[in-house]
Amino acid sequence: MGGYTLVTRIRHIPSKILLPLLSRISRHGLRPHAGRALFFTPALVLLVLLVIYPVLQTIFLGFYLELPGGQRQFTGLDNYRAVLTDPATINVGNLPWPPPLGTLIHNALWIVIHLPISLFAGLWLALLLQETKGASVVKSCIFLGMVTPMIVGGVILRFLLEAGVGVVPSFFGVIGVRSLAVNWMVHRELLLLGLILGSVWLWTGFSLIVYSAGLTTIPKDYFEAARVDGTPPGRMFFRITFPLLKPLTLVIVVMTILWELKIFDIVVAATNFGGGVGADTLALQVYRFFFYDSNAGKAAVVASLLTLLTLISTSLILRRMAK
């Protein structure tokens, strides 16, 4: 009985969609709104040909082995197994330290270190600048990192960390910290950390600008009322400011994670393609597998895994953005 209703229900779905559509067309005719398709056609053609088809093709490639002569052989999950057991992805032997720890771990470290620092630095600065004269100038200075092409950002990080020109090793030399007064670009432990911490300089402007805009939307009365009640500033922050900024915090967290997952230019420019893989990221690994090793299957797998991670992150705010 239940099976019967289920079947009829399923069979009714097409008619549920089709019938109203057909009746609308017969009532109004196709013509009045047919031109509306032209609003979407150019965008859909470009997206399907150059984005959607390539994405599907990449997913597909991950399940195949490319043989010489342009032939393909279905290999199931072999490429996935090969990638996930490759020390280039997760270097079990070196865990927990020192690098190279594998691209997946490097990206994870990027998120664990860079996300909280740049997020809270931006929030703290936004609060500080609320009571500062000339705040817009300070903001512009910090926002410069966001305007800088990431490839130039990478060059500048190298400029800061390399022995000789680098202000960072010289600084530690002056204050007498010998272990850090070295060429950060050739010490693997320092290279990865230097790039991660250095990119805080490039990205903090983002959370600063977003939080600053968010702070202006909080009605002044809230703080006035709290002040009249004698609420201490710390409590005001945790009871009023931070809860009201929560939706923005989520947006910043997601956008920052996306940025960290996609790190490519900075590492390429700073290390000239990886500096012996000590600072490799997933995005760089895709390039390496395809263009250096001519292994489209493994490159496609890394790209697919990376995309999966970005989609999971985006799903947290998708509803908000498309509301």
Partner 1 sequence: MMKWSFRKLRLRTIAVHLIAWSIALAWLVPFLGVFSTAVRPVSEITNGWWNFDRLNPSLNNFILAFTNPVLPLSRAYANSFLIAVPATLIPIFVATLAGYGFSRFRFPMRDYLFLSIVLLMSIPQQMIAIPVFKIMLDLNLYDNLLSIILIHSAWGLPWIILFMRNFTRALPLEVEEAARVDGAGDFKIFSKIVIPMAVPALASAAVLQFMWAWNDYFFALILLPTQANWPVTRVVTSIGSGALTTDWGILSAASILTMLVPLVLYVVTQRYYIRGMIGWTIKG
Q: Which of residues 84-113 bind partner 1 (CB under 8 A)?
A: none
Least distance from C-beta 57 to partner 1, angstroms?
4
The residue among 73 and 272 lying less far from partner 1, judged by its C-beta, is 272
Give the side-chain half-sphere CA count within 13 A for 130: 16
Radius of gyration of the chain (CA): 26
Q: Which residues contact 189 (CB under 8 A, 6 or more apart)?
A: 97, 98, 99
**Which of the stretches 4-12, 72-80, 176-184, 267-275 binds partner 1 when contact is defined by CB under 8 A?**
267-275
Cβ atoms of 104 and 92 closer than 8 Å: no
**Conformational region of residue 275, where left means phi above 0, alpha means psi within -120 to 50, and beta covers everything else:** left
Least distance from C-beta 144 to partner 1, angstroms?
7
Sign of CA dihedral 128, 203, 54, 104: negative
Q: Is 15 in the site for partner 1 (CB under 8 A)?
A: no
Q: Is 314 in the site for partner 1 (CB under 8 A)?
A: yes
Contacting residue, 92, 167, 177, 225, with partner 1 by CB under 8 A: 167
The CA distance from 320 to 310, in Å, is 16
Q: Which of residues 200-219 bind partner 1 (CB under 8 A)?
A: 201, 209-210, 213-214
Interaction pattern, residues 268-297, with partner 1; x per rule: CB under 8 A: xx--x---------xx--xx--xx----x-
Contacting residue, 6, 7, 17, 225, with partner 1 by CB under 8 A: 17
Q: Which of 71, 103, 109 is nearest to 289 (CA)?
A: 103
The residue among 94 and 249 lying less far from partner 1, judged by its C-beta, is 249
Cβ atoms of 207 and 144 closer than 8 Å: no
Least distance from C-beta 221 to partner 1, angstroms?
22
Least distance from C-beta 275 to partner 1, angstroms?
13
Q: Which residues contact 201 (CB under 8 A, 6 or more apart)?
A: 145
Contacting residue, 145, 274, 275, 278, with partner 1 by CB under 8 A: 145
The residue among 11 and 319 lying less far from partner 1, judged by its C-beta, is 319
The CA distance from 233 to 319, in Å, is 34
The CA distance from 177 to 267, in Å, is 26
The CA distance from 91 to 98, in Å, is 10
Number of residues that bind partner 1 (CB under 8 A): 92
Q: Where are the beta strands (DSSP E) in the chain?
A: 64-67, 71-74
Least distance from C-beta 230 to partner 1, angstroms?
14
Q: Is 313 in the site for partner 1 (CB under 8 A)?
A: yes
The residue among 6 and 128 lying less far from partner 1, judged by its C-beta, is 128
Least distance from C-beta 205 to partner 1, angstroms?
9
Q: Which residues contact 148 (CB under 8 A, 6 or more apart)?
A: 156, 202
Q: Which of residues 29-88 bind partner 1 (CB under 8 A)?
A: 33, 35-36, 38-40, 42-44, 46-47, 49-55, 57-58, 61
Contacting residue, 19, 77, 137, 225, with partner 1 by CB under 8 A: 137
